[in-house]
Structure 1
């Protein structure tokens, strides 16, 4: 395999958040980067992202924070509230306090805005983004990998699969394996603030916890939109698309009787997408010769810590910087060794939060939330200890 100090051509498969962050980081390290995207147009789903301080430190290091600020909304608190009464189980300050504690802000951004800024930054750094490029196969060669596309074959020193939970690169590397349905389905949508009647939605990152269901609400685009994600438990789900349109009447019915801040948001919603929350077993390896994986392709995240995009962004920083410092094989080994414990811990926290938000265990589940309420009031260090390991982590300060 080639040495990093020689001219290097890298192909990244997937022009999502993780793939573009990686491409930008690699370009800043001096690599020639091509991004292969199977879609015929660059776009992102109309949904929100919570960019916690650990992700913001990476985006800041890449010079994107100033451009993103104009698109962002800074929530005042991170909250867990009761689905009916609206009472607070947790109300932890964000804003300036989170900057003081973790050294970076906590912002809400529209996924499309972050994607657009990444695309622009990639073009400014001479990254080639090539659309309608569907990868069908790859083969490790003596000094790189040959990549089979529809109608042609390309070659690269390195091939990196950042192509999501349904990753073709992972499938080619490790074989076909169906995703594991978690028993939960999520609805998502955005609503203009001026379309919401009768209530004032609080300017917070809010989880509304209820029996076997929960809803997340927060502002986007400087306060012009409200983003929601509504999760319910189901016995089965056969569709795998992120873009399956749901029936908003069905959505409203499933969450009827909830707090007015929730029901009024859903009443103003004109369309919603619905998708299954899937997971995958821990992979036996992330790399194969000149090929490695990134983000949901190797460690899909449930959304209950709002860390899916953040973990892909962290992956991208670590991998780009390791490739800039040593041999490719060593970089791949170090990348997995550094990232796997981190993402596995976040995956576990996300699974635990699913039970908390859905009051699993009936009365016991409600008592856990009440205990959290007491801890947040009288022993905030307990709450901070959980969040510090997530938000306080700084990949930009690691010795790579």
Structure 2
């Protein structure tokens, strides 16, 4: 049995690795003409690193990234409002939380693949069910017959659009800028993720390698998106801490990625017969919890475990039972965090900050525990 995967992103590649290690034959079809080390940074939280430990990738990821032992929400002057001490989970699960360049992670995953055939320049156009399974037609005119199909093709998944039409993408009305720069962070920030919350905007930064920093900035918009040109970032964050202003001033504007933030409204069906959606195709989330890729990585591991025990249709049913509640919890919680982070009323902002300060660390730890614990099949 050959398992076909649409999409060579983090989720698709990790799924192929996990399936290879279970003895499955896999093929990946990717719309890009080449796989280049693009993208910004990514934080592989404890749950993702537990999966990569099981797949034999923990050491190489740690060698190419930077360990993070604290996640902080701060005010605009980097005074901590809320903190999650990750050292507790490092000891409990014996893996670290790693910040790494997305391109470096992609290269590590590609190097780990042994037998998977990756076919580039194949953008899916149609999926038609037939007696042998599914006929896949690509925009370049090529056709492929598939018996088991996994949609790992992101929030705008063509597999989902073709076979699961009753879904909707939600726009959050927030613009996100992302960049990676050479920068020597002050030592107190080198092993932390800091996200500074203001009024209707925020700014986060984390070291992903020696003297290399990944940063992101988000701002709400209501009317004219052109107001949020990358050239306005200095103005928007001009009253923030000097470290943040230095990071922005050191960034070449033509190397900043700009995107609108959206997610997938939770849906109750990820599979149909021998087809299953994974990652953003199934449960795209806003980036407010840093769990988008991590949830796709969890999918990869648990789906491979299910396919190792059951025939595809039953495996996909068991997979959904295991993963849907947690994935939807992440989507819904992340949506609410985004709303709270972007309050604009000064009174509500002060109240929000006070509530964050007063929330016990035990509550933050308990919430993190729910995210970091992997399901067992």
| TM-score of Structure 1 vs Structure 2, range by shorter chain | over 0.9
Q: Could you tell me which of 332, 343, 353 is aligned with 1:348?
A: 332
Deviates more, 1:42-51 or 1:332-341: 42-51
1:134 corresponds in structure 2 to 123
Q: Which segments of 5 or more consecutive residues in structure 1 lack a partner in the other structure?
A: 1-7, 240-245
1:309 corresponds in structure 2 to 293
2:179 corresponds in structure 1 to 189
Q: What is the CA-CA distance between 1:70 and the residue it aligns to?
A: 1.1
CA distance in 2, matches of 1:167, 1:235: 27
For the Cα contact (< 8 Å) 2:72–2:80, is it kept in 1? yes
Q: What is the CA-CA distance between 1:280 and the residue it aligns to?
A: 2.5
For the Cα contact (< 8 Å) 1:191–1:225, is it kept in 2? yes
Q: Could you tell me which of 136, 145, 154 is aligned with 1:164?
A: 154
Q: What is the CA-CA distance between 1:112 and the residue it aligns to?
A: 0.6
SS of 2:267's equivalent in the other structure is coil
Matched, 1:104 2:84: no
Matched, 1:48 2:41: yes
For the Cα contact (< 8 Å) 1:208–1:357, is it kept in 2? no
Q: Which segments of 5 or more consecutive residues in structure 2 lack a partner in the other structure?
A: none
Question: After superposition, where does 1:253-292 map in structure 2 within 5 Å?
Answer: 253-271=235-253, 272-292=256-276
For the Cα contact (< 8 Å) 1:53–1:103, is it kept in 2? no
In 2 relative to 1, CA 238–293 (structure 1 residues): closer, same or farther, beyond 3 Å?
A: farther
1:249 corresponds in structure 2 to 231
In 2 relative to 1, CA 112–193 (structure 1 residues): closer, same or farther, beyond 3 Å?
A: same
1:362 corresponds in structure 2 to 346
Q: Could you tell me which of 82, 85, 90 is aligned with 1:93?
A: 85
CA distance in 1, matches of 2:167, 2:8: 23
Q: TM-score, normalised to structure 2's length?
A: 0.93
1:147 corresponds in structure 2 to 136
Q: What is the CA-CA distance between 1:383 and the residue it aligns to?
A: 1.7
CA distance in 1, matches of 2:180, 2:194: 15
For the Cα contact (< 8 Å) 1:252–1:263, is it kept in 2? yes
For the Cα contact (< 8 Å) 1:201–1:261, is it kept in 2? no
2:364 corresponds in structure 1 to 383
In 2 relative to 1, CA 247–281 (structure 1 residues): closer, same or farther, beyond 3 Å?
A: closer
Q: What is the CA-CA distance between 1:104 and the residue it aligns to?
A: 2.0
CA distance in 2, matches of 1:50, 1:366: 29
CA distance in 2, matches of 1:349, 1:82: 21
1:332 corresponds in structure 2 to 316
Q: What is the CA-CA distance between 1:247 and the residue it aligns to?
A: 4.7
SS of 1:301's equivalent in the other structure is coil
Deviates more, 1:338-347 or 1:228-237: 228-237
Q: What is the CA-CA distance between 1:237 and the residue it aligns to?
A: 7.6
CA distance in 1, matches of 2:353, 2:92: 25
2:201 corresponds in structure 1 to 213
Q: TM-score, normalised to structure 1's length?
A: 0.88
Q: What is the CA-CA distance between 1:51 and the residue it aligns to?
A: 0.7
For the Cα contact (< 8 Å) 2:4–2:149, is it kept in 1? yes
Calculate the aligned-residue CA RMSD, in Å: 2.1
1:242 corresponds in structure 2 to none
CA distance in 2, matches of 1:284, 1:97: 34
